[in-house]
Structure 1
């Protein structure tokens, strides 16, 4: 909470009224947190891939083929949407050469 001196300085126009919690974090803190989030995201992706691989290896051949067909369909659909978004779909210049 701001003290009486801070309020008087704010009214006089010589100081901004900010609490300690509202001040920006140091740049090093933001960099460290960004790197930490990137590492955690990559570890999560690796864990999901390894878990999926172990699941596929433990299934029968028929179940494994069925699951992989579903994965291929989902990936193809996501790829189609991504490539569709990359094209210039303006009225005068429709570029569908990505697809």
Structure 2
């Protein structure tokens, strides 16, 4: 809140910016639909991968799992570095 408003004696509860409450239910419904679609697509992707890993021999299975771990690290570590602590004066490797 601006200093001039407080000095003039107006309440802090007076809002100078009008909020747009009419789109909040649509946004909430859209977010819920997106989360459901994300989860169903992850499950639909995991089932064929599981079936494939059960059909190959142990050497290929271990090699594929090693590749997945490396790819997850290549994607995850820079993502966590960019995320940082989301506050000032904290090291970037807070979450790692």
Per-residue deviation, 1:74 = 0.6
Per-residue deviation, 1:75 = 0.6
Give structure 2 stretches of 5+ with no counterpart.
1-21
Distance in structure 1 (CA, Å) of the matches to 2:44 and 2:37: 10
Give structure 1 stretches of 5+ with no counterpart.
1-24
Q: TM-score, normalised by structure 1?
A: 0.54
Distance in structure 1 (CA, Å) of the matches to 2:67 and 2:54: 16
Per-residue deviation, 1:77 = 1.3
Q: Work out which of the residue numbers 73, 92, 95 in structure 1 matches 2:91.
A: 95
Q: TM-score, normalised by structure 2?
A: 0.55
What does 1:7-18 correspond to in 2, within 5 Å?
A: none
Per-residue deviation, 1:42 = 1.0
Q: Work out which of the residue numbers 42, 49, 54 in structure 2 matches 1:52.
A: 49
CA RMSD, 1 decimal: 2.9
> Aligned pair in 2 of structure 1 residues 35, 64: CA closer, same or farther (>3 Å)?
same
> What is the count of residue pairs matched by the alignment?
71
